[in-house]
């Protein structure tokens, strides 16, 4: 049986309050006030499509053997690299075997659903981790700034003990240009919203849904969860009505909490649906963008056996309201702030060294001495054990998923950080090993010696001169309740 084996999501902790954005622009565009309700997920300065994809993947792979993964796909229209495979970095961060295939999908908002269809079609032959992640850049003062959100979702597709069986897919391709972004441009250019709603969503999505239901001889009443990843109010309900799907089957669009996460949004909503769906229920997923993708799934009994994970609801519950609009602008490169002299320091990446140490740097793989059991980071030729510095006895020892706690810390106002103060300190892994770590998603209440931390994959720094992004792992202090 082919279908979805596991699911996971990631939503950044910061939630930009739309009211402060609308208020900031009221002098220029008072009409934005109408979009000023709720909040949108906002990536931290050290998050991008790749880091969010990694976290969604880790969530998806909770309790699963990563060795089964044969391929990783990353769907996005906002990936940081135009010519350095983004999915390949996700693969390294997940510490997957080098024999794993990897590919990026882009080109429009349907990238997420199209990659899922490809994987589902290949399902009997291959286990694919389908990740979709989006951090869309929008012009200050635009509607997109309020409507968009940053998030990622991951779905493990293959055959076997699936939690949702693949019933079929249907695709429609039409060059309907509701918005576009040329290859060398930063921002989308958008056409009139009423035209998009009536000629685009209503006609193209509804038509595709009808065709798909006919194709698989399904009665609209047999659909229990309808996923329309369009956050514009009323669109999903209108489509359900038009095709005869029950109103209660329409899934919430996460408009008020996440915003629209572009090519990742359908997957994010699918994860939310899988969190609540019961065995036997059917999910119809739509993906819109120069046409429409339809995926129909049926939830199985196996869904109850999946180990607990954060998924969409878990990440949504972990939130930090952000009321500083200038911080949002700065984190998104829309405000040319003075970094100070410390921000100018040039740390060019020797690519040879990154390649040699990719497991250490991207995978957070340390070493464990097979003779003494000493765990250390990074792995070295000679063990750090002072009583037994054996040579060449270390085996790979992945650290990213191990429990750790804070041993020392500071909050540094002097060093350059896009989000001062910079929290960092030494962390110690419960089962051995330690490292100096930058802390992220940290605040004064969460940082103290002895507190637990989770390790997360984040941007270490961006070399603005050459456009190279450096990634490494950081510690997130776990708030004590």
Partner 1 sequence: MAKGIKDKVAILGMGCARFGERWDADADNLMVEAYQEALTDAGIETSQIDAAWLAVAFDAVNVGPSGIPLATALRLNGVGVTKVENYCASGTDAFRGAVYAVASGAADIALALGCEKLKDTGYGGLPVRSRGTMFDMVGVVGSAPGSFAQLAAAYRAQHGVSKEDLKHAMAHVSVKSHANGVKNPRAHLRKAIDIETVINAPMIAEPLGLFDCCGVSDGAACAIVTTPEIARSLGKSDIVSVKAVQMSTSNGWELQGSGWNGSYFHTTRIAAAHAYQEAGITNPREQLSLMEVHDCFSITELVTMEDLGVSKEGEGWRDVLDGFFDADGTIPCQIDGGLKCFGHPIGASGLRMIYENYLQLLGRAGDRQRKDPPVFALSHNLGGMPNQNVSAISIVGMLGA
Most distant CA atoms of the chain, gap in Å: 75
Instruction: Work out whether 335 is an interface residue with partner 1 (CB under 8 A).
Output: no
Residue from the set 171, 323, 357, 452 that interacts with partner 1 by CB under 8 A: 357
Q: By CB under 8 A, name the one of 143, 275, 412, 419 that touches partner 1.
A: 412
Q: What is the spatial distance between Cα 88 and Cα 94, in angstroms, rounded to a whole number?
A: 10
Q: Does 403 bind partner 1 (CB under 8 A)?
A: no
Nearest to 438 by CA among 475, 477, 384, 391: 475
CB of 349 to partner 1, least distance (A): 8
In this complex, which beta carbon is closest to partner 1, that of residue 337 or of residue 353? 353
Nearest distance, CB of residue 421 and partner 1, angstroms: 7
Binding of partner 1 at residue 470 (CB under 8 A)?
yes
Which CB, 256 or 418, lies closer to partner 1?
Answer: 418
Reported as half-sphere exposure (CB side, CA atoms, 13 A), residue 429 has a value of 23
Q: Which stretch binds partner 1 (CB under 8 A): 127-135, 146-154, 188-196, 339-347?
A: 339-347
Give the residue, chosen from 345, 371, 430, 464, that forms a contact with partner 1 under the rule CB under 8 A. Answer: 345
DSSP 372-418: T--EESS--SB---TT---BS-EEEEE-TTS-EEESS-EEESSS--S
What is the spatial distance between Cα 479 and Cα 481, in angstroms, rounded to a whole number?
6
Write down the least CB distance from residue 384 to partner 1, Å: 4
d(C-alpha 452, C-alpha 481), whole Å:
12
Site string for partner 1, 428-457 (x = CB under 8 A): x---xxxxxxx---------xxx-------
Among 85, 173, 323, 415, binds partner 1 (CB under 8 A): 415
CB of 377 to partner 1, least distance (A): 6
Window of 4-12, 248-256, 281-289, 403-411 that interacts with partner 1 by CB under 8 A: 403-411
Query: How far from 110 is each of 33, 292, 371, CA to CA, in Å?
Result: 29, 7, 52
Q: Is 118 or 383 the residue whose CB approaches partner 1 more closely?
A: 383
The smaller minimum CB distance to partner 1, of residues 334 and 354, is found at 354
Shortest spacing between CB 161 and partner 1, in angstroms = 38
Nearest distance from residue 358's CB to partner 1, in Å? 10
CB nearer to partner 1: pick between 63 and 386? 386
CA-based radius of gyration for the chain? 23
Strand residue runs (E) in 192-237: 225-227
Stretch that binds partner 1, among 122-130, 202-210, 280-288, 409-417 (CB under 8 A): 409-417
Q: Are 208 and 292 in contact (CB under 8 A)?
A: yes
Contact 317, 259 (CB under 8 A): no
Q: Is the peptide bond before 378 cis (omega within 30 degrees of 0)?
A: yes
Residue 179: in which H helix or E strand, if any?
strand 179-180
Q: Note whether 258 and 40 are within 8 A (CB).
A: yes
Q: What is the DSSP string of 37-73?
A: SSEEE---TT--HHHHHHHHHHHHTTTS-GGG--EEE
Specify the pairing of strand 282-288 against strand 375-376: unpaired
Q: Which residue of 24, 232, 384, 478 would you call a contact of partner 1, by CB under 8 A?
A: 384
Pick from 182, 341, 465, 481 the residue near partner 1 by CB under 8 A.
341
Q: Interface residues with partner 1 (CB under 8 A)?
A: 341-342, 345, 347, 349-350, 353-354, 357, 360-361, 374-378, 380, 384-386, 407-416, 421-422, 424-426, 428, 432-438, 448-450, 460-461, 470, 472
């Amino acid at each position: 049986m082919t279908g979805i084996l596991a699911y996971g999501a990631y939503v950044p902790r910061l939630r930009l309050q739309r009211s402060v954005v609308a208020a900031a622009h009221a002098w220029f565009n008072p009409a934005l006030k109408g979009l000023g309700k709720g909040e949108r997920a906002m990536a931290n300065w050290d998050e991008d499509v790749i880091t969010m994809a990694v976290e969604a993947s880790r969530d998806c792979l909770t309790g699963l053997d990563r060795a089964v993964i044969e391929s990783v796909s990353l769907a996005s229209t906002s990936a940081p690299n135009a010519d350095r495979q983004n999915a390949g970095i996700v693969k390294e961060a997940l510490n997957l075997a080098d024999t794993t295939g990897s590919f990026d999908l882009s080109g429009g908002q349907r990238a997420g659903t199209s990659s899922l269809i490809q994987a589902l079609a290949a399902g009997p032959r291959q286990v694919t981790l389908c990740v979709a992640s989006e951090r869309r850049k929008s012009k200050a003062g635009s509607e997109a700034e309020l409507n968009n959100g940053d998030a990622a979702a991951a779905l493990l597709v293959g055959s076997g003990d699936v939690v949702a069986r693949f019933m079929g897919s249907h695709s429609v391709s039409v060059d309907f240009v509701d918005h576009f972004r040329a290859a060398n441009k930063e921002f989308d250019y958008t056409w009139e919203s009423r035209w998009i709603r009536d000629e685009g969503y209503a006609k193209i999505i509804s038509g595709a849904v009808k065709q798909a239901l006919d194709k698989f001889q399904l009665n609209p009443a047999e659909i229990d969860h309808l996923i329309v990843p369009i956050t514009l109010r009323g669109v999903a309900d209108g489509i359900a009505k038009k095709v005869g799907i029950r109103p209660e089957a329409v899934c919430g669009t996460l408009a008020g909490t996440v915003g629209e996460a572009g090519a990742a949004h359908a997957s994010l909503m699918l994860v939310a649906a899988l969190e609540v769906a019961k065995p036997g229920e059917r999910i119809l997923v739509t993906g819109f963008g120069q046409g429409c993708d339809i995926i129909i799934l049926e939830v199985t009994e196996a869904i109850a056996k999946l180990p607990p994970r954060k998924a969409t609801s878990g990440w949504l519950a972990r939130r930090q309201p952000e009321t500083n609009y200038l911080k949002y602008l700065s984190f998104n490169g829309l405000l040319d702030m003075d970094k100070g002299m410390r921000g100018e320091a040039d740390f060019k990446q020797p690519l040879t060294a990154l390649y040699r140490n990719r497991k250490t740097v991207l995978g957070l793989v340390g070493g464990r001495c097979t003779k003494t059991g000493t765990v250390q980071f990074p792995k070295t030729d000679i063990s750090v054990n002072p009583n037994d510095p054996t040579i060449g006895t270390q085996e790979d020892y992945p650290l990213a998923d191990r429990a750790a706690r804070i041993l020392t810390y500071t909050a540094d106002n002097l060093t350059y950080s896009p989000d001062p103060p910079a929290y960092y300190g030494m962390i110690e892994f419960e089962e051995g090993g330690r490292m100096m770590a930058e802390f992220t998603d940290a605040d004064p209440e969460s940082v103290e010696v002895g507190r637990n931390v989770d390790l997360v994959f984040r941007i270490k720094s961006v070399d603005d001169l050459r456009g190279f992004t450096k990634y490494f792992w950081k510690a997130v202090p776990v708030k004590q309740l």
